[in-house]
Structure 1
């Protein structure tokens, strides 16, 4: 079968999904770049946002785009509670203790969602779910376009915030040298809390946007976490714009790989790239620039 006519469709789908990977990865790399903690529960907050969106649609008939008003602050509040109760006490603990804390949190969240919602896979209806636009021979869901545009805008807005505002510069100062920032009058603990809430809160923004074209299940967050780790390693750990570029690259690789392999081993290609970078270029593609 000639795959060439299907290549533009695969690339378009990959770019759209890549933008979602980018915003998830930006939140992860922000958390690591500032707090120096690898958060294995990162994607599970996305799953929480998806379930909140699902409940809004099922119980109250609220369209996912309207549920954004409630999901974003609720996920952000959950992030603040998590930071105060789990992350802050583990900040100065050995790295393996930090890993156990976030990995344990991930397992707890997944099992709580499993108990509350069972293992059934759900979908969230929306007025945008069935709308498709055609550009040449490429068909794209309107919901995917909206999620992609919003993700890119949020990524660029966060980059501007970190580099062009006083609060952003304080967050970067706390990330670069905690002691020097303290001596300059920066409330480092507050900056850590703010960075963690922004990183997780971005998932509360993206969850209602991807709900119309993405399934909801207790394990959906883990798949996004794994992909986000690959994107972050590819774009260099702690590099903001590297995560954005890496998201697009992995999205296209997955889509084109799925086209070439029939979708059977497309993830193998992604993880093979991940392993090769760990072996031969562990600093990633954009190691020079950081937050």
Structure 2
């Protein structure tokens, strides 16, 4: 007989995981919404950020959550530089070139990580990782609660930046009509680079929130980028709110699917939804909008 308490625990855990998945997807959908490119290096950049957090904790003794602002700044400049000096110059505005560049960057980062750190799986060992909060119907790890709250706060902050700032208005202008934006004096290339930087900065925060919950190895980016692409398609490419809703839904399906089918088959439902969305509503559940 199925336990209602265990099912409720799966639902809560799925929603909390989904918020962090959505944070990874937010960077991807933001980049697509403004630059109109699919960044295949997104998962590899997340992997690099996770290693950065891991070594900051193990070598420097810094708490992973304290690394969030520092990792966001570092990843911002990594994304900015990738767009400004690599994609922008070598891509020449051609989609095929850009896809190959981001795919090549992913291959280089994955193999460099494998060479430097081997294929071993690494996890953090922190005193508070076993701490839980009793919600009455479920015991939820403190690390998942922190990740959920921080991810939601970052979503609100990103929404405010896009909707309430001059830079956000410039981003939306460039996303809709780059030529017109250039005519009225907006530095389109700089906005592209800044958007790539912000999208990559999201990975810095996601890495710090994920590492106390998950593990890191050179292939971990592939796991999360598949989820991110599913979320982006589900929530409509370029839609920030859609990414949040899609992330929560994917996390819920993964957790509840694991409850009924077991951990190994828990993600089957995600890809079933992905196929159904592509078949019956390829534009996603929401209208595309940065």
C-alpha contact (below 8 Å) 1:64/1:124 kept by paired residues: no
Paired positions, count: 290
Q: Which residue of 2 aligns with 1:29?
A: 29
User: Secondary structure of 1:229's match?
Assistant: helix
After TM superposition, the structure 1 = structure 2 runs for residues 125-204 of structure 1, keeping only pairs within 5 Å, are: 125-204=125-204
Distance in 2, matches of 1:30 and 1:169, equals: 14
- In the TM superposition, what is the alpha-carbon distance from 1:233 to its structure 2 partner? 0.3
- TM-score, length-normalised on structure 1? 0.95
Distance in 1, matches of 2:69 and 2:285, equals: 36
- In the TM superposition, what is the alpha-carbon distance from 1:14 to its structure 2 partner? 0.3
Distance in 2, matches of 1:57 and 1:221, equals: 20
Distance in 1, matches of 2:251 and 2:65, equals: 23
C-alpha contact (below 8 Å) 2:44/2:109 kept by paired residues: yes
- TM-score, length-normalised on structure 2? 0.96
Distance in 1, matches of 2:126 and 2:73, equals: 21
Q: Which residue of 2 aligns with 1:248?
A: 248
Q: Which residue of 1 aligns with 2:74?
A: 74
C-alpha change, 1:156 and 1:86, in structure 2 (3 Å) is: same
User: Secondary structure of 1:133's match?
Assistant: strand
User: Secondary structure of 1:65's match?
Assistant: coil
- In the TM superposition, what is the alpha-carbon distance from 1:119 to its structure 2 partner? 0.6
Structure 2 residue ranges without an equivalent (≥5): none
C-alpha contact (below 8 Å) 1:134/1:140 kept by paired residues: yes
- In the TM superposition, what is the alpha-carbon distance from 1:66 to its structure 2 partner? 2.4
Distance in 1, matches of 2:157 and 2:75, equals: 19
- In the TM superposition, what is the alpha-carbon distance from 1:90 to its structure 2 partner? 4.7
- In the TM superposition, what is the alpha-carbon distance from 1:267 to its structure 2 partner? 1.6
C-alpha change, 1:6 and 1:232, in structure 2 (3 Å) is: same
- In the TM superposition, what is the alpha-carbon distance from 1:71 to its structure 2 partner? 2.1
Q: Which residue of 2 aligns with 1:232?
A: 232
Alignment of 1:47 with 2:51, yes or no, is no
- In the TM superposition, what is the alpha-carbon distance from 1:91 to its structure 2 partner? 4.8
C-alpha contact (below 8 Å) 1:50/1:211 kept by paired residues: yes
C-alpha contact (below 8 Å) 1:63/1:125 kept by paired residues: no
